[in-house]
Structure 1
Amino acid sequence: MDSLTQIVLGAAVGEAVLGKKVGNKAMLYGGIAGTIPDLDIISSYFTDTVTAISIHRGFTHSIVFAVLFAFIFGWIVSKYEIYKNIKGWFWLFFWVFFTHSILDSFTTWGTQLFWPLDLRLAFKTIFVIDPLYTVPFLVFLILAMFQNRTSKKRRFYNNAGLIISSAYLALTFLLKWIAFNQFESALEEQQINYIQLDTRPSPLNTTLWSANVATEDSYLLANYSFFDTKPITFESYPKNHHLLGNLVENKKVKRMISISEGWYIISQDDGNLYFNDLRFGLLSLEPKAENFVFKYKIEVDNLGKLTFTEEPKIGRDGKKLLLDLWIRLKGN
């Protein structure tokens, strides 16, 4: 999830663990701890694209990290804070790190919670930024912040934020199930033979859902809003996996295919090959659009070294997409 959401969650969890003991300092340390696992993004400045993608939401989002670094940070803070109980600080950092990873597991990217196992947990029920999750949570956190640390109101407001946000996360499973059934029914009605169906919410909401459908030689992409009155339409995109040729045996290519969970399209433009990750969809709702959110240029130098370079996104595409999503969300 986005940084603000993780700060809010971390602050609320910190308050739940140590609020009665240290007051707003529990929120402060919880908020700071809520951002620590995402520092793995720094790896992109020191490694190649494929390695950076592999690392993202890996070790720093695991139970191993939560236990190990909760002890380290808990020990450090207990040395200079008035409250010296290392066990209390350990539990604050552990639960903040752990809940950070659990929340991220609801997104499309997911987390390697069980690192070092190469298993990514991704429920794909919520977008990385969702105001319906964050805003109410933030309001209750602020209300709690201005109460006395031992007051019942403070505990009530903080618990209300945690309960309401958690209930919303639970609701997203139901919404995903409904959307999945709608896509599945549409495929059956249109007599489309498919191998696999994958769904996810569109940006900033859980009303409009997107689907990737794998067939033998192509992928079908579609959108469905709970306010739709017309049948779902599927746009076909050829896989073009054959364009990789012998590159399919390259270790980095194999790793990218694994990271994308097999949901990828190879495109070609001016003699250049591009790897398009389908899991995050397109930057446009226009039919037959080809500007995928994550698009990587594949290059091989004279020495045979292969590199992936992410294509830059155009700001105006993002702004137009948000406007189009708002219109599409209201029904077809």
Structure 2
Amino acid sequence: MGVVRMDLVTQGLLGAAVGTAVGARRLGWKAAVFGALGGLLPDSDVFFSQTPGVEHWVIHRGVTHSLWFGPLVGSALAMLSIGIGNAWRARQKQAPLDDAARRAWFAVWILAIFTHPLLDAVTQYGTQWFAPFTDWRAAIAAMPIIDPLYSLLLIGGLVAAAFTTGQRAEQRARIALGLSCAYIAVAAVQQPLGAHMAHKELTRQGLNGPSVLQVSSHTTMFTPFLRRVVARTEDGYLIGFVSTLNPQPIQWRRVEVDPVAQRLADQILSGEGDGRRYRRFATGPIVPEILQREDGAQVLRLHDARYGFPGQSLAGQWGLEYTLNEQGRPVGRGVRYRIPREATGERIEALMRAKLGLPNAVF
């Protein structure tokens, strides 16, 4: 839930910046406040997606993140805001809102809501732009869900806008949005760059032979410049990390896959229902593992290999888990699991050093 809360902060900042950029001249401080609310609105689906199964990944970033949601719901909220505003002005014996103010309300609500799924689409988690008609996910592994530098660009623009009014406030917010878009463009380049560096390192270390089937590049927390790279091989995976700012030799960690676990995973993921939904959500490598719980039961875990760090969560931090019966077959439906990882100061420092390509205690 901590990641979700930080994601809400970023989306609220984006909505406030968008609202200020299009409505500060006509609506004043209300443009930022209601823009922030509009930016947060799509994530209201978290209240309906707290299920133990794969439905969580279908509901969250689903219908409320569709491209039609902003224009439709934003228009309704704009008309409501105009109606409330005119009623208040009538009580104060003032003239109704003029055309420019009414247009500003539409712009604030529609654009603040609409830009939310656009930002979500440049994270590897992705978002369902065309729900409920399809569960296809728009996902570019450009930025992490939490990126302090991106948020600081928006904060800087909002602070600068707060010290002025009208057109100048709009201009300052637009400059901040322009800089944030430029940052996203730079971040987007890191995905193919990370994959290129991984291929180069595999070749240098004599590993890039016919057994390497696929190489993918993923984000890590806080900045886009440390890439988690995953190479799928015939018998498992090679997982490593590389800084695109200061590349160093990749210390590949081999994850061997049990053929039985792979066979069970292929059966689940090639089917319909939960398997299909999870395959569509993960949009990349899924690492299967059979392990024994403390109660003695055997389970099959399907790790989403886009996420994870060295140690217990190297293969993945979360995914679907199936209980196996005495014959070693999955029974019942898959249940979401997550491997907790404590965010200590030492680990955060090591993560930041790794992003700069410096010696660190974790990677």
SS at match of 1:297: strand
Residue identity (%) = 24
Of the three residues 76, 79, 84, the one matched with 1:72 is 76
Q: Offset of 1:80 from its aligned partner?
A: 0.4
Of the three residues 198, 220, 223, the one matched with 2:216 is 198
The separation in 1 between residues aligned to 2:288 and 2:208, in whole angstroms, is 23
Q: Is this contact kept in 1: 2:289–2:301, CA < 8 A? A: yes
1:95-106 aligned at under 5 Å gives the runs 95-106=111-122
Of the three residues 147, 153, 167, the one matched with 1:136 is 153
Aligned partner of 1:261 in structure 2 is 283
Q: Is this contact kept in 2: 1:106–1:122, CA < 8 A? A: yes
Aligned partner of 2:348 in structure 1 is 322
SS at match of 1:15: helix
The separation in 2 between residues aligned to 1:244 and 1:173, in whole angstroms, is 31
Q: Is this contact kept in 1: 2:291–2:300, CA < 8 A? A: yes
1:100-115 aligned at under 5 Å gives the runs 100-115=116-131
The separation in 2 between residues aligned to 1:113 and 1:206, in whole angstroms, is 23
2:196 matched to 1:181? yes
Aligned partner of 2:172 in structure 1 is 157
Summarize deviations over 1:292-324 as a string: whole Å, max 9, x none.
Answer: 3214432379xx5323132352435x6654233
Aligned partner of 1:217 in structure 2 is 235
SS at match of 1:315: coil
SS at match of 2:305: strand
SS at match of 1:90: helix
SS at match of 1:195: strand
Aligned partner of 2:107 in structure 1 is 91
Q: Offset of 1:254 from its aligned partner?
A: 3.1
Residues 319 and 251 of structure 1: is their aligned pair in 2 closer, same or farther, counting only changes over 3 Å? farther
Aligned partner of 2:35 in structure 1 is 30
Q: Offset of 1:247 from its aligned partner?
A: 4.8
The separation in 2 between residues aligned to 1:251 and 1:175, in whole angstroms, is 34
SS at match of 1:63: coil
2:62 matched to 1:58? yes
Bigger shift: residues 261-270 or 318-327: 318-327
Summarize deviations over 1:230-272 as a string: whole Å, max 9, x none.
Answer: 4223222234322448655462133222321252112122212
Consecutive unaligned residues of structure 1, counting only runs of 5 or more, are none
Residues 173 and 247 of structure 1: is their aligned pair in 2 closer, same or farther, counting only changes over 3 Å? closer
Aligned partner of 1:19 in structure 2 is 24
Residues 107 and 142 of structure 1: is their aligned pair in 2 closer, same or farther, counting only changes over 3 Å? same
Q: Is this contact kept in 2: 1:113–1:121, CA < 8 A? A: yes
Residues 90 and 171 of structure 1: is their aligned pair in 2 closer, same or farther, counting only changes over 3 Å? same
Kindly provide the amino acid, as one letter, of the partner of residue 18 in structure 2: V
SS at match of 2:227: strand
The separation in 1 between residues aligned to 2:300 and 2:98, in whole angstroms, is 58
Q: Is this contact kept in 2: 1:276–1:295, CA < 8 A? A: yes
SS at match of 1:144: helix
SS at match of 1:173: helix
The separation in 1 between residues aligned to 2:40 and 2:98, in whole angstroms, is 23
Of the three residues 298, 305, 319, the one matched with 2:322 is 298
Q: Which has the larger radius of gyration?
A: 2
Q: Is this contact kept in 2: 1:34–1:100, CA < 8 A? A: yes
Q: Offset of 1:208 from its aligned partner?
A: 1.4
- Indicate the RMSD between aligned Cα atoms, in angstroms: 2.7
Summarize deviations over 1:71-124 as a string: whole Å, max 9, x none.
Answer: 221121111024475543222222112211111111011112233233211111
The separation in 2 between residues aligned to 1:64 and 1:48, in whole angstroms, is 28
The separation in 2 between residues aligned to 1:62 and 1:255, in whole angstroms, is 17
Residues 97 and 229 of structure 1: is their aligned pair in 2 closer, same or farther, counting only changes over 3 Å? closer
SS at match of 1:129: coil
Q: Offset of 1:220 from its aligned partner?
A: 1.7
Q: Offset of 1:69 from its aligned partner?
A: 0.7
Q: Offset of 1:174 from its aligned partner?
A: 2.8
Q: TM-score, normalised by structure 2?
A: 0.80
Aligned partner of 1:121 in structure 2 is 138
Aligned partner of 1:274 in structure 2 is 301
The separation in 2 between residues aligned to 1:210 and 1:15, in whole angstroms, is 36
Q: Offset of 1:32 from its aligned partner?
A: 0.6
Residues 119 and 255 of structure 1: is their aligned pair in 2 closer, same or farther, counting only changes over 3 Å? closer
Q: Is this contact kept in 1: 2:14–2:36, CA < 8 A? A: yes
SS at match of 1:298: strand
The separation in 2 between residues aligned to 1:300 and 1:55, in whole angstroms, is 27
Kindly provide the amino acid, as one letter, of the partner of residue 283 in structure 2: E
The separation in 2 between residues aligned to 1:310 and 1:7, in whole angstroms, is 28
* Alignment: residue pair count: 325
Runs of 4+ displaced beyond 6 Å: none
Residues 88 and 293 of structure 1: is their aligned pair in 2 closer, same or farther, counting only changes over 3 Å? same
